Amino acid sequence: MRKKKKVNAAILIIGNEILSGRTQDKNIAFLSNWLNLNCGISVSEVRIIPDVENIIVKNIRSLSKKFNYVFTTGGIGPTHDDITAKSISKAFKVKYKYHKEAYKILENYYGKKKFNDGRKKMAKMPAIAKLIYNPSSAAPGFITKNVLSLPGVPSILNSMIENCKKYLVKGLKVYSKTINLYTVESNISKQLEIIQKRYKKFVDIGSYPFFRLGKIGVSIVSRSTSKINLVKVHNDLIKVIKNKKIKILNI
């Protein structure tokens, strides 16, 4: 049996509406969570870029070389500024053309009379692309080499995500433990650094301040592909917390 290895991904959010603040992105959290829980794929980088061809091309080329997978969202609709498919074609130096199956799917969905040029545009993609089927609004996403292109509308993306699985090689799942404390970061920073150094090859430890019910607190989050090392870190953290007599909100 082949041993699983670490598999990573990047998310490339494409759209002027995200950068302008008119639309709030909801896809990053959903994709990151789904990839880790269902595929053991860790998202290592996220970028948000405008609908500008040369910027899309540049980012696709660099990210596809750097990561096992790249997930793009946005820019595959029927309007003039939906240029993701065309830009990916240029990035990989392949023809941008109608995908026969995608064309048939959309023609059947809309009917020949209502299948206008804008809707036909959603069937154009890189010549080597394979389809990611869309159970919500018919217009498919597509995968080009290691780049999976999905729509920006969260509800549609969510409905399509299971259809990405067949294209993905599963990696090691990342587990996490969280401890919420009523304290300030400076009170535990030295001890966290010591524990992190001890387990630096196996566990990542992060501290995140919060303000709740009028009190300042810190969430300590430990992440690892190893459950055994995660438990060891957790136990070391509990010892520190008890020695310092810090109140734990929950474990």
Adjacent-strand bridge partners of 8: 42
Single pTM value for the model? 0.86
DSSP symbol at 127 = T
Stretch (H or E) spanning 248: strand 247-250
- Alpha carbons 230 and 173: distance in angstroms, whole number: 13
**Encoded tokens for 239:** 């010892």
* Per-residue model confidence as pLDDT tens for the chain (251 residues): 455 688 999 999 999 999 999 999 999 999 999 999 999 999 999 999 999 999 999 999 999 999 999 999 999 999 999 999 999 999 999 999 999 999 999 999 999 999 999 999 999 999 999 999 999 999 999 999 999 999 999 999 999 999 999 999 999 988 999 999 999 999 999 999 999 999 999 999 999 999 988 889 999 999 999 999 999 999 999 999 999 999 998 65
CA-CA-CA-CA torsion for 66, 69, 71, 75, nearest 10 degrees?
A: 70
Query: What is the set of domains in the chain, with CATH numbers?
Result: 7-167 (3.40.980.10), 175-250 (3.30.70.260)
Adjacent-strand bridge partners of 180: 219, 250
147 neighbors 72 (Cβ within 8 angstroms)? yes
160 neighbors 134 (Cβ within 8 angstroms)? yes
One-letter amino acid at 92 equals F
